[in-house]
Amino acid sequence: MIRRLMDYLRLLLFVCGVLLGVQVPAFVDQYGKALAAHTQEAKLSLAEFQRDADRFFGGDIDKLIAHYKQNPDAVFNAGGESIEALYQRYQLLSAALTEFNQSGYGGFDRLVLAPLPEIRDQVWQHFSHSILLDGRAIAFGLVFGLLFALFCELTLHGCGHCCLGAYRRLKSKAEPQPENR
């Protein structure tokens, strides 16, 4: 009976590990979608200024920004700084999205090694647990489930040995020792 219960516990740990493991690809997927949405929003915010750059500066937005910043009017000057901030944000997001999409590991490495913290935190805050049924998610889930179950079993086994050893030591101290003559 105990053996069967332990088998079910192992199975339960494995299933829990699989369910936890498939959340990682889901998080990476949601991060990629959020990154794409932020990039598109930054592009839309910059669109009117890009049209002005196309019209007056041959499409060079850096020249438009320089023109605004060189204007002696403080309002125009501040406008140049605002446009520059929008442009730099768009460049940052666009580069991050390109790297994410070109990653050989489906964006996992970009999320671990070089995430954009504000987007990662936003996705974490609004993360909706889901189960992706693609090969990558299934493989990740199975491997994580196996490792999770193995780790839990080894931990419990180690704790059991420690407790058994401590029990034996306490028991041997509590028993009266025969006197050696």
Q: Residue type at 106?
A: G
What's the pTM? 0.77
Percent of the chain that is helix, strand, coil (3-state, to 5): 80, 0, 20
Give SS3 for 155: helix
If one compares 7 and 91, the residue with the highest pLDDT of the two is 91
pLDDT at res. 100: 95
pLDDT in tens, 137-163: 889 899 999 999 999 888 988 888 888
Q: What is the DSSP letter of 180?
A: P
Q: Are 21 and 144 in contact (CB under 8 A)?
A: yes
pLDDT in tens, 23-59: 999 999 999 999 999 999 999 999 999 999 999 999 9
Distance CA 63, CA 45 (A): 18
Distance CA 161, CA 32 (A): 45
pLDDT in tens, 86-139: 999 999 999 999 999 998 787 889 988 899 999 999 999 999 888 878 888 889
Helix axes 61-70, 23-56, angle to 10 degrees: 70
